[in-house]
Structure 1
Amino acid sequence: MENGKPVEGSLYVYAPNKVAPVFFAIAFAVSAVGHIWQCHRYKCFKMIGLHPLCAVLFAAGYALREYGAFDYVYTGSFLTLITFILSQIFIYICPPLLELANYHILGRILYYVPYFAPLPPGRVLSTFGGLMIVVETLNSLGVALSTNRSSKSGVQELGSQITIAALAIQLGVIIIFFVLAAIFHRRCAKGNINARAISTPLITLYISMALILIRCIYRLVEHFGNTTVRVGDAESLIALSPILRYEWYFYVFEASLMLINSVIWNVWNPGRYLPINRHIYLARDGKTELEAKVQTAGRPWLALLTLGMFFREKQEYHPFLELDGYSDANSRI
């Protein structure tokens, strides 16, 4: 592994490290416990619930990778193959979900200062949630096809192309995120809105999305190279992309970046800063919190499944009533 020489028959191409998966499985498990505890403490499961879910999936993925580190030579065993595939799926499906979680948090920040939002806050999750559903579907399918070492080379190549498409869309969505967040941040600065409830989650979002961006670029570079693995063909294994032949790329640009992302959201959980009720917003004085009067007709359960893209609730929402001496809003200081 150290010299990039492939191990013939290995599903991983190399002989996988037996220590690193243990560290990351434990680290993500601890992070999952931290996320679950904070979600319970701050009652913010709806806001950041994807983070404990992804931490659990990461922990499961690295636990399976540890098992695979002792059974990585494919000799036709279904258990060996399915363990490898599930490990890869659990690890690779999480980053798009974490990106979706970031959009949800951005939407909650926009709800808190709605008069500076570049988009209606409710549309952030529904619009970009829809895009991330497409990304997640393509990503899951691509990973499943490209990591199936028992399939024909054409199937693996198809999986790689699908993964590239998913990563390209994800990259575009990340760029849009930075544009929206920067516009909002600039408007807040010009409006002299410097509340910690806005600045801390925003800065954490920037760091988180930068980590996901680096990881996305790494995955794109990986799949633009030769990624078709023929476990019994030594010559084809040597011709593989160096990113596949050296394990350290995976642990630096995949495992470590996503662990850092999980940790920073544990340290700066948005539930500590943003109100649980999304109808509570900050007045233009930057200090007073107001609660808008909302008349809700009820949201069908189908709306939850579509992230609010369809079957949206009917409501009357007036976020700027503080201009009239707080006459129709409940003041919260």
Structure 2
Amino acid sequence: MSGVAPPQGVTNYFIYNPVHGASIAFAVLFTFSGFGHIWQNNLKYKSYRIGFLLPCTETQRASLIFTAGFILREYGSYHTDKLDIFIASQVLLFVAPPVYNGANYFIFGRALYYLPYLSPIHPGRVWSTFIALDGIADAIAANGAVRAANADATEAARKAGLDLVKVSLFLLLGMFLAFMSLNVQFHYRARKMGVFNYKMKVIMYELYASNILILLRNCFRTAAFFYPWNSVANSREWPVWVFEFVPMLINTYIMNIWPPARYLAADHKVYLAMDGKTEIQGPGMIDKRPFLVTLVDPFDIWGLIKKKDQKNRYWLKDGIGGPLPEVQSSAGEASEAGHQVVAPKTVA
């Protein structure tokens, strides 16, 4: 039998004897990180749009879920025979890491708003599209984890739960690869065009670090569900700390050291002109298609096929410097298009 659930009759549902104190220490560390995100993004940099959504996706959800999961795990370490506590802690600690993806989706979407001419997808649809897909995977994972962790369930029920978890993990890995491909494509095009400034370097390298840590965790979890319950991956405590809990703690503190609100424009309409130096407040990305259509077809593949792409390419009308001089307009036309040079402001 593969998975993390021991056979029926085993009273220690952890299989190993969990260390005391470590879980409560991690609960405190995740709590501190959560409050740190709120202070940095909402109060210090006063980026309420970023500061509100980022804590909701990363801090208020992931950190709180981790905190609750570690508290239950600590309690369970003294009561290893309590099945309900074991299941609750397992489920909470299993579903918390993927929530960090939500923060990464939002951060990347804001980076696309900053360099809209390099965006392969409507920036506002990055978060909604991937979150919708993640929600499906998380629902499958949570349902499967409850069944797989229940040692009192029948063998067939636990096997069905493990199969659901495996499916969800492969879905998450697939979405991760799709998301990373967008990151790499955006990074490459920004460097090639000469608009990969310091702000974008910090954001992209931060995303890469976070994505790698999440990938490490996902790969470990995927592998663990294919090993038997008495394997090293499932019957020893150190692998889950080394390959999951510690990487997730590092991930959350990376966001504290380099808070995204410090490097992303507070106003999503502010973008970097194609000269790579001037920040402009434009009209923002406008997609005239119905919302549900943009959710189903975020890349506007149908529009590209029909040669009726709905993007409003306002960056070609700011009068500052696009690659095609013939499509550039005068300052008057730029004003009519809703552009406003911020300050004017030159960035590194």
- Give TM-score scaled by structure 1 length: 0.83
Q: How many residues align?
A: 301
2:125 match: 123
2:192 match: 190
Q: Residues 154 and 295 of structure 1: is their aligned pair in 2 closer, same or farther, counting only changes over 3 Å?
A: closer
2:113 match: 111
Q: Distance in 1 between matches of 2:74 and 2:137?
A: 28
1:165 aligned onto 2:155:
no
Report 1:263-278 matches (<5 A): 263-278=253-268
Q: Distance in 2 between matches of 1:8 and 1:143?
A: 18
1:24–1:62 contact (8 Å) kept in structure 2: yes
Q: Residues 8 and 172 of structure 1: is their aligned pair in 2 closer, same or farther, counting only changes over 3 Å?
A: same
Q: Residues 242 and 290 of structure 1: is their aligned pair in 2 closer, same or farther, counting only changes over 3 Å?
A: same
Q: Distance in 2 between matches of 1:30 and 1:175?
A: 31
1:204 aligned onto 2:206:
yes
State the Cα deviation string for residues 186-233 of structure 1 (Å, max 9, x = none).
Answer: 111111113222111110000000011111110111011124xxxxxx
Note the C-alpha offset of 1:61: 0.6
Of 64, 78, 83, the residue aligned with 2:72 is 64
Of 282, 294, 301, the residue aligned with 1:292 is 282
2:113–2:123 contact (8 Å) kept in structure 1: yes
Of 227, 240, 250, the residue aligned with 1:250 is 240
1:91 match: 93
Task: State the one-letter code of the partner of 1:291.
Answer: Q
Note the C-alpha offset of 1:277: 1.9
1:309 aligned onto 2:295:
yes
Which segment is superposed worse, 44-53 or 97-106? Answer: 44-53
Q: Residues 294 and 221 of structure 1: is their aligned pair in 2 closer, same or farther, counting only changes over 3 Å?
A: closer
1:114–1:319 contact (8 Å) kept in structure 2: no
1:51 aligned onto 2:58:
yes
Q: Residues 51 and 290 of structure 1: is their aligned pair in 2 closer, same or farther, counting only changes over 3 Å?
A: same
Note the C-alpha offset of 1:120: 2.5
1:15 aligned onto 2:17:
yes
1:322 aligned onto 2:318:
yes
SS of the residue aligned with 1:289?
strand
Q: Distance in 1 between matches of 2:66 and 2:90?
A: 10
2:323 match: none
1:142–1:163 contact (8 Å) kept in structure 2: yes
Note the C-alpha offset of 1:99: 1.3
Which segment is superposed worse, 318-327 or 188-197? Answer: 318-327
2:83 match: 81
Q: Distance in 2 between matches of 1:132 and 1:206?
A: 19
Q: Distance in 2 between matches of 1:146 and 1:60?
A: 20
1:96–1:135 contact (8 Å) kept in structure 2: no
2:326 match: none
State the Cα deviation string for residues 32-83 of structure 1 (Å, max 9, x = none).
Answer: 111121232232222453111211110111011111111112xxxxxx2222
Task: State the one-letter code of the partner of 2:76.
Answer: G
Which segment is superposed worse, 242-251 or 280-289? Answer: 280-289
Q: Distance in 2 between matches of 1:192 and 1:218?
A: 38
SS of the residue aligned with 1:331?
strand
Task: State the one-letter code of the partner of 1:149.
Answer: A
Percent of aligned pairs with the same amino acid: 33
2:282–2:340 contact (8 Å) kept in structure 1: yes
Report 1:18-29 matches (<5 A): 18-29=20-31
2:147–2:161 contact (8 Å) kept in structure 1: yes
Note the C-alpha offset of 1:331: 0.9
Q: Distance in 1 between matches of 2:18 and 2:285?
A: 57
Q: Distance in 1 between matches of 2:10 and 2:84?
A: 19
Q: Residues 206 and 46 of structure 1: is their aligned pair in 2 closer, same or farther, counting only changes over 3 Å?
A: same
1:22–1:62 contact (8 Å) kept in structure 2: yes
State the Cα deviation string for residues 272-293 of structure 1 (Å, max 9, x = none).
Answer: 1111221211111222222222
Q: Residues 316 and 215 of structure 1: is their aligned pair in 2 closer, same or farther, counting only changes over 3 Å?
A: closer
- Give TM-score scaled by structure 2 length: 0.80
Q: Distance in 1 between matches of 2:65 and 2:18?
A: 20
